[in-house]
Amino acid sequence: MPVGIIAGTAIYSIPSITMEEISVDTPYGETLILRGEGENSDLIFLPRHGPKHSTPPHKINYRANIHALSSLGATHVLAAYAVGSINTNMPPMSLVAIDDFIDFTSGREVTFFDGGVNKVKHIDVSEPFCTSLRSTLLELSAQYGLEIIPGGTYVCTNGPRLESPAEVRMLSKLGGDVVGMTAIPEITLAKELDICFAAVAFSVNWAAGIEKKISFVEDGLSDLGKNLLDLFIRALREASK
């Protein structure tokens, strides 16, 4: 069964797999994906900012991306999100299998069900992620040398600017653990299409105000990304058997 991986900042391809670029037409516009060749043709990789990171978070065509994965038959999808750390127990370079979110975005197209022919649908997000895929991912993580924190709340801001220190203090008081700009509406659109979807946030900086100036992790990120992708592929294949 086809499975999908979505990634953004710091992860633009799957180095261990030869993939071809395919343009997919959707009712929401065209999107570019990479598809594995030969025995990996079940694998779809979607660079959410485009292959050259040319689309900022607030302008990503999330509906085209998720629709494309679904129309190609992807039943299980794992996403990686670069984030800033709010929770001091989740310092930069931490991996967090997020299990909840807070949405501070605005002006994005957030649903496939906006009336008319598509009707109206109010999805239940009491359990935002696919529990079986999250469990498989966490169970297999040690085999890839990865320690994944098994839960955390992702706050999605609109970007493209980073947050102010006062905003980060507020987000911390609201229960946010990590902050990023792209998980919403990706998570909720996948849920609307009944895709089994789970996600790992990887921290690349302390959020604003925790240190005097924001500095981004550079060392070790490509190894972390490579191991995370290998784990994603294994977990997706196990979970979709």
Min dist CB 19 to ligand HPA, Å, is 25
Specify the long-range contacts of residues 31-38, CB closer than 8 Å, at least 24 apart: 31/61, 31/64, 31/65, 31/68, 33/68, 33/69, 33/72, 35/72
Min dist CB 208 to ligand HPA, Å, is 6
List 61, 87, 136, 157, residue binding ligand HPA (CB under 6 A): 157
Give me the torsion for CA of 139, 238, 22, 9, rounded to 10°: 0
- Cβ-based nearer residue to ligand HPA, 2 or 180: 180
- Cβ-based nearer residue to ligand HPA, 12 or 28: 12
- Cβ-based nearer residue to ligand HPA, 93 or 193: 93
- Cβ-based nearer residue to ligand HPA, 19 or 217: 217
- Cβ-based nearer residue to ligand HPA, 133 or 168: 168
Question: Near ligand HPA by CB under 6 A, which window of 15-23, 31-39, 98-106, 155-163?
Answer: 155-163
Min dist CB 134 to ligand HPA, Å, is 21
Residues 179-208 that bind ligand HPA (CB under 6 A): 179-181, 204-205, 207
Assign 3-class secondary structure to the chain. Answer: CCEEEEECCCCCCCCCCCEEEEEEEECCEEEEEEEECHHHCCEEEEECCCCCCCCCHHHCCHHHHHHHHHHCCCCEEEEEEEEEECCCCCCCCCEEECCEEEEECCCCCCCCCECHHHCECCCCCCCCCCHHHHHHHHHHHHHHCCCEECCCEEEEECCCCCCCHHHHHHHHHCCCCEEECCHHHHHHHHHHCCCEEEEEEEEEEECECCECCCCCCCCCHHHHHHHHHHHHHHHHHHHCC
Residues 55-94 that bind ligand HPA (CB under 6 A): 82-84
Min dist CB 204 to ligand HPA, Å, is 5
Per CB under 6 A, 33 contacts ligand HPA: no
Site string for ligand HPA, 102-141 (x = CB under 6 A): ----------------------------------------
Min dist CB 33 to ligand HPA, Å, is 23
Q: Give the interface with ligand HPA as residue ranges (CB under 6 A).
A: 82-84, 157, 162-163, 179-181, 204-205, 207
